[in-house]
Amino acid sequence: MKDNSKRIIICATQVPFVRGGAEYLVDGLRDALRDHGHSVDVVSLPFAWRPHERILESALAWRLLDITQVNDIPVDQVICTKFPSYLVRHPRKIVWLVHQHRQAYDQYGTPFSDLVNTEAHRSLRDAIFRMDRRGLGEAQRRYAISRNVSQRLLHFNHLDSTPLYPPSRYAQRLRAGPYTDYILSVARLDKAKRLDLLLTALAHTRQPVRAILAGTGPEQAQLEALAARLRLGERVRFLGFVDDATLIDLYAQARAVFYAPIDEDYGFTTVEACGAARPVITTSDAGGVLEFVTDGVNGLVSAPDATAIASNLDALVTDSNLAARMGTSGLPRVRDITWKRVVQKLVLP
């Protein structure tokens, strides 16, 4: 190890059989820290939110974990990511907050939360609030992956944090190609990503706009059934899982990228679209997406309404010059999102 190198453990929460943006973030951080000369490993514990009692068990497991040293050699610091990993005890704890247990926070009282207004669930929610204030409050430094996540933390827990954007794992490979005729979605086929809005909007366009959906998820059957009911036919292709090279090609040749989740934490899709010089079609309630997309500049923002989205789809499909101008305007928005900057902020002196 170099003289200024650290022994660092990244604390990660893993839902078994699920990999997404949070897991890719941890992988990227681990590799970047190693590239900068640090000795790094990931400690990951499984997390399950059903039955609800398992939430407290998962939190307790992190609280009881002792990783201050390994084989009698001190661990210089830990970097914690999402709930409940930041409950781990360590005198030099840094938090890079991906998100909290959103079902107890901003999603509470919405269809996206399985916590309801019962005595048992209110008690559980109160316990999560207390644990978070304690675990997050212990951190020597608090960062969040977006302004949106940072604002939630301040609103609900009265704790400040600094936004620190993570790079896409494709950042160095994205490229700008021709603006062909399809709209691309690479979002997980999940209810919160609202791909039903895209499909319904296609049924309202004046032009025969085509869409390609690359991804898998629990809503695939429902979305395919919706496309059939709307009689979209060959205008929609569900590709399922695609490899990295195919995904980068899809970005490079899309006319635009559709990404309109509900109040997204961050959204790698957004920064990837900007990195590939593609305009983003999104909505006014998309959360972290709006930290990068400005209506009329590098994308089009509308109400979460199929007719309004259809109008934006038509505008970009009928004018390739507009797509190129907006796409190019997105590049500067992600230029400074680098792993070098992340490492500089997260490693304690």
For each successive 10 residues of the chain (349 residues), what is the average pLDDT? 84 86 94 97 92 91 95 96 97 97 95 94 96 97 98 98 97 96 96 97 97 96 98 97 97 98 96 98 98 98 98 97 98 96 97
Residue among 192, 158, 155, 205 at smallest CA distance from 306: 205
- Give the amino acid at 133: R
Number of H helices and number of E strands within the chain?
A: 11, 14
Structurally, at CATH architecture level, domain 182-334 sits in 3-Layer(aba) Sandwich (3.40)
Comma-separated ranges of CATH 3.40.50.2000 domains in the chain:
7-164, 182-334
Half-sphere exposure of 146 (CA within 13 A, CB side): 23
- Helix axis angle, 119-137 relative to 147-157, nearest 10°? 110
b/e map 7-29, b = 16+ CB within 10 Å: bbbbbbbbeeeeeebbbebbebb
Identify the burial level of 68 via C-beta atoms within 10 angstroms of its C-beta, where 0-12 means exposed, 13-18 middle and 19 or more buried.
Answer: middle
- Give the amino acid at 110: T
Structure tokens belonging to residue 170: 């494709």
Structure tokens belonging to residue 336: 């400074």
Residues 6+ apart with CB under 8 A from 172: none
Structurally, at CATH architecture level, domain 7-164 sits in 3-Layer(aba) Sandwich (3.40)
Side-by-side strand order, sheet with 93-97: 39-46, 7-14, 77-80, 93-97, 141-144, 162-163
Contact 313, 201 (CB under 8 A): yes
Of all helices (H) and strands (E), which one includes residue 120? Answer: helix 119-137
pLDDT value at residue 18: 78
pLDDT value at residue 17: 80
Of all helices (H) and strands (E), which one includes residue 326? Answer: helix 320-334
Structure tokens belonging to residue 253: 């040749």
Structure tokens belonging to residue 291: 């930290």
pLDDT value at residue 3: 67
β-bridge pairing 280-283 and 299-302: parallel
Identify the burial level of 231 via C-beta atoms within 10 angstroms of its C-beta, where 0-12 means exposed, 13-18 middle and 19 or more buried.
Answer: exposed
pLDDT value at residue 50: 85
**What is the gyration radius of the CA atoms in the chain, in angstroms?**
21
Structure tokens belonging to residue 119: 């005595």
pLDDT value at residue 16: 83
pLDDT value at residue 156: 97
Rounded Cα distance, 300 and 341, in Å: 29
Residue among 10, 44, 14, 46 at smallest CA distance from 30: 10
Contact 10, 75 (CB under 8 A): no
- Phi/psi for 296 (5° steps) reads 85, -5
Which of the 8 DSSP states describes residue 167?
Answer: P
Rounded Cα distance, 79 and 88, in Å: 10
Structure tokens belonging to residue 198: 């895209």
- Note if the pTM is more than 0.85: yes
pLDDT value at residue 14: 87
